[in-house]
Structure 1
Amino acid sequence: MNWQYKADEARLYLDAYIQGAMQKAQDPLLGSLPVEDYAVVEFSEPPCMRLVPQNAQVGEEVTVVVPGILCSKTLPPVYGPLRSTRPEHVRYLRQYVRCTGLGSATFSGFQSQLNDIYEKFANAPGVNTIKNFDFGLYEGEYCISMHTRHLTDRRYVSGERHIPFPPEIDPNHVLEEARDTQFIRIEDNVVQYSKRIEAPDGTFYFEPLPPAEFKEGDIVEATGAFVAYPGGEQGEYKLVFCLRALTMICSQYREDSKKKVTVHREEEPRKRSKVPSPSKIKRRYIPYGPPTITSSENSKT
């Protein structure tokens, strides 16, 4: 955030929003998820373990909503050119967001449930070791990160059909070119970008929003799912908080801070010291020839 961003006001707004969202959210908020009602189940395409409802007839993954203040992002559109089109680099192209509460105790409390979810995966059958989340800090405050790769190795999902990229994601067909025949885009790679609209009667609905509209300082809802991908050794896994959707809740604090910075720059132009400007400049020349002997020096000889 820039120095004009009203962090205290944004934090209070976020706290109030979280309290209200606990009653209205379509998906459970992180922090209110009944972890004991879910199970860790193994899937084959792609190979992974996911959190799903207990005794579910259909393998529908569990998603949770994390309201927060966007503090870092790597989002579409992808204009290119890519730094590299080698498969080992294309594989890791991703959509990434990082949210913070800027000191909100409610937001920091989400960490407790993330620990419970990690324990759920760590105790699942067939898991020997599993790498936990590592979100780091933003300005000394707790953060939560989510990401989703743009592409999946075709060899892991041989029965799936490629989902074309929309213009707001890949306007110049950079990702389509980079994937070649080795990668495809499946449902796991799709992230929904939207804006929450509140109706006069208190209800709300969602409208599509291009991902380019999201900026640091916006208050958002990030929806994520918990997936553990196998590592190099038998029984080794890495737990990932996968991004499934990003919703704009409020951009006002970010927009106001930008306006204030612009006004401040206009009101206080750079001061320049006044340099004297004489009407004529005396130039200094390099003298040529040997020094001239003055009359006083001649009288001494």
Structure 2
Amino acid sequence: MQLGIVSPIVTANPGAHAPWEEKAGIAELVQVAQAADRLGFHHLTCSEHVAVPTEAATQRGGTYWDPLATFGHLAAVTERLRLMTQVLVIGYHHPLAIAKRYGTLDLVSGGRLMLGIGVGSLEEEFALLGAPFARRGERADDGLRALRASLGRREPSYHGTHYDFDGLVVEPHAVQERVPLLIGGRTARSLRRAVELGDGWVPFGLGLDELHAMLTSRELPAGFEVILSPGRMVDPIGDPGGTTTRLARVREAGATLVTTAVEATSADHYCDQLETLAALAKEIS
């Protein structure tokens, strides 16, 4: 079983982060990332929000490190760990801006980029950035097609309903032949979008039985990634049996990759937990 981690420190969602993270910074994040890299974890994550309205922050949290800056630093201090946005809101960016900025990240990281993409739901943030909120799903679909036509290409060309470009040079660009596009969401439409336009699905806020039913209701393409989470933080040292059971249940629900959050009281404790978690994952596999 391949495991990734929900990066600590970079977000502070209510109920989903530990007290030690409030005083931690880049040094502790590097410590965790390097431990995950050494132990063979598949990926770590970073989410995107530019500015969260004060009222919304009580549910969503207000701390969101910028993925591009964060991953640019972590790329320099790790070797194998993949860098996954979870998620980047596609409506906030022109597809060529993503292709250039994150394509450069793919280059400097040696081809380790995974682009988790979301349609977005925070209307105030759309307005702040001057991005259209209405028909955002339709625009996201066209943006995904434009992004697929652009990533890894020096001279991208695309003619769609919302994006149209040709005769341009984007250099540098992604070095992967096909950068994974992983679509976030919790609806049947998001799964359909992922199957038709992406390389995988990153659902959230759904129970494992519901996820299993959705995943078995349609044929998935070969190599299609399903990235699931066991839910609340796992405690590999304190509860190895419970951790193993939860990971196994996620795999049975249809996960090809599992992204976990780990209980810890410090960065050192977090790294110890990762070491135990890596050993448990091998037993399940």
Calculate the TM-score normalised by the size of structure 1: 0.25
Identify which of structures 1 and 2 has the higher relative contact order when contacts are C-alpha pairs closer than 8 Å and 6+ apart: 1
Structure with the higher fraction of residues in helix conformation: 2
Calculate the TM-score normalised by the size of structure 2: 0.26
- Which is greater in Rg? 1
